[in-house]
Amino acid sequence: MTDPRQEIESLREQIRYHNTKYYTMDAPEITDAEYDRLFRRLQQLEEAHPQLVTPDSPTRQVGAAPLKTFAPVRHRIPMLSLQNSFSDSEIIEFDARIRRFLGTEDSPAYGVEPKIDGLAVELIYKNRRLTTAATRGDGSVGENVTANVRTILAVPIELKDHPEVGPVPELLEVRGEIYMEKDEFESLNRDRPAKGEAPFANPRNAAAGSLRQLDFRVTAKRRLTMFCYGVGTAQGTGFSSQAEVMRALQRWGLRINAGMMETCESLDEVINYCHKLEKIRDSLPYEIDGAVIKVDDLELQRRLGQISRSPRWALAYKFAPSRETTRILKIDVQVGRTGAMTPVAHLEPVTVGGVLVKRATLHNEDEIRKKDIRERDTVLVQRAGDVIPEVVAVVTSKRTGVEKPFVMPDRCPVCGTLAVRKNQEAVLRCPNPLCPAQVREQFKHFVSKAAMDIDGLGEKTLLQMIDRGVIKDPPDLYNLRKKDILGLERMAEKSAENLLQAIERSKQPTLARLIYALGIRHVGEHTADILARQYGSIERLQEATEEELTGVHGIGPQIAEQIVSYFADGSNRRNLQRLLEKGISYEPPAGIPSSHLDGKTFVLTGSLESMTRSEARDVITSKGGKLASTVGKSTDYVVAGASPGSKLRKATELNIEILDEKAFLEMVSGGKPVSKNRGE
């Protein structure tokens, strides 16, 4: 039976990794459907085991941390993400939750609009003028992209008062979605191969990449646009509904998706309009991946408030993934950084959700066998969430007899080493650390933004260096001289100097980035940060035992095994030593701010008037505390609401401090706890 603690830690690590790939790097690796399965499984486990919930869990956060290229901007009011739904029944349940919370049998009016697949931003206007534009970032802190946003024609630099809605507030924070229309995306992608640039995967990635350009002139050429969907701070306004807010934004000069916003007076109207949007999605000039449903009344929004990462008054209804049929021409196998051998289907080109798809992942041998996928098969291809396409099913009725079963090779297709499958994994791996494919992927990982961040060292240049024998392992990068670089394609005097400067700048990473750059299997950015904070130096980490590592919160047995195995390898230790000798000097980890609830264990009994049990859990864990389901000697506080159960009696027997609701609220607000009693 799987240990829930181990499964929870594994899910958190996977979700954090994919959050970073999606929100920060604009390079998602899995479909929305796969991500949602991971996220929902984590939610289920945390509901079943509340004592294992931690404040840094992805279920308590919005996205990934911002890049360090742009100055940080702290949002006055957090830019929350939306809870997702995938069926009519989940919309009905959303409405039922709202009615229960408000204590009414009648559904409120809802505003429904398309969910634009772009990049969320906040525009800050002071005295009518645009002063700051910031990305959502992690919800609390985003990136300052003001110079780039000023180039977008749909974003006014100055707003104008309007007699119908009154003057523009002195401080107005507008939230919206920056996106790229389909026609512009296709035009941009047509030009990129001629410039030696890889095409963007989809309009969202193109918009995100365009907005994050350091040179605003590049952004200006990309023809981005924007729809506004709400406000953060809006000083001095007296609006009563979401519809009034949107009308005012439009009158002041901001662009809203006016023709597509619908106010629905009944739940049937909400569901019907969501279905209508799904039917017309492909005919729209921009990509949408769902609909957003909001309680229209602003006072009700205020009363409903929020849970840890989402407003309680809004819901995202996600459409079914875009699917099309095509034919598999052939199947080959790609080898990744850790030796994973992944089968990939090469397809007859087909447009799925507005994007031309030529390849799709088949995941692993077990998936191929389960779906009975063969070369020359007609298949259903899905581009869920506009990420990596995948083959979801075979259209067996179209088989003609020419289809050829695919047999996974028992040797690495690149180096010929006998493949292995360890610990009942679904993935076959090449165990040869010198495999050229692994070496290439390891280099790409080492120089990436999240690792050593060697700006200007693109994939083509890197591969030239490897193929010509200029570099064999990462420390060789720090031996490079100008003459080594000038012999490469597209490398002139100035670009060679810039690259050498970037390599020199990379010599002072944080300890967490250095650990991540090593490419230890299962060690993503978050795990690297945990290790950096726990050990403080790479030397101490090298000597850690599996027993020590598994005692660190957030490090499971699999991760511990991989860390010890990595440092037990003599070549890995030698490469690390060479890096340090080349002048790599990492920054020690910053201290972690403490909280008066850090490490304290709470148990809830009875019902609270001011919040639900789930909300109380969120408050406790967000302050560094832990929630347990049973009272024991390790319990610090029992919170007793109305009609408490046997847990209260147990707390009294064990002389554990008992808090009534008032004392609990005072404690989580930062005040001193006032006990109802301590069992005496």
Active site members: 115
Residues 421/427, Cβ–Cβ less than 8 Å:
yes
Amino acid (1-letter code) at residue 640: A
CB 179 within 8 A of CB 136: no
Alpha-carbon distance 568 to 548, whole Å? 15
Range list of β-strands (E), 378-501: 378-383, 390-394, 404-405, 428-429
Cα 544 → chain centroid: 30
Contact 350, 62 (CB under 8 A): no
Helix, strand, or coil (residue 463): helix
Quick one: which of 68, 155, 91 has its CA closest to 119?
155
Determine whether 307 is exposed, middle or buried from the number of CB atoms within 10 Å of its CB (0-12, 13-18, 19+).
middle
Cα 217 to Cα 156: distance, rounded to the nearest angstrom: 18
- The dihedral over CA atoms of 533, 538, 543, 548, expressed in degrees to the nearest 10, equals 10
Structure-token pair, residue 605: 């009994």
**Token pair 């401080």 is at which residue?**
171
**The dihedral formed by the CA atoms of 129, 63, 392 and 318, expressed in degrees to the nearest 10:** -50
Dist. CA 451–CA 72, nearest whole Å: 20
Q: Angle 361-362-363 (CA atoms, 0-180°, nearest 5)?
A: 90
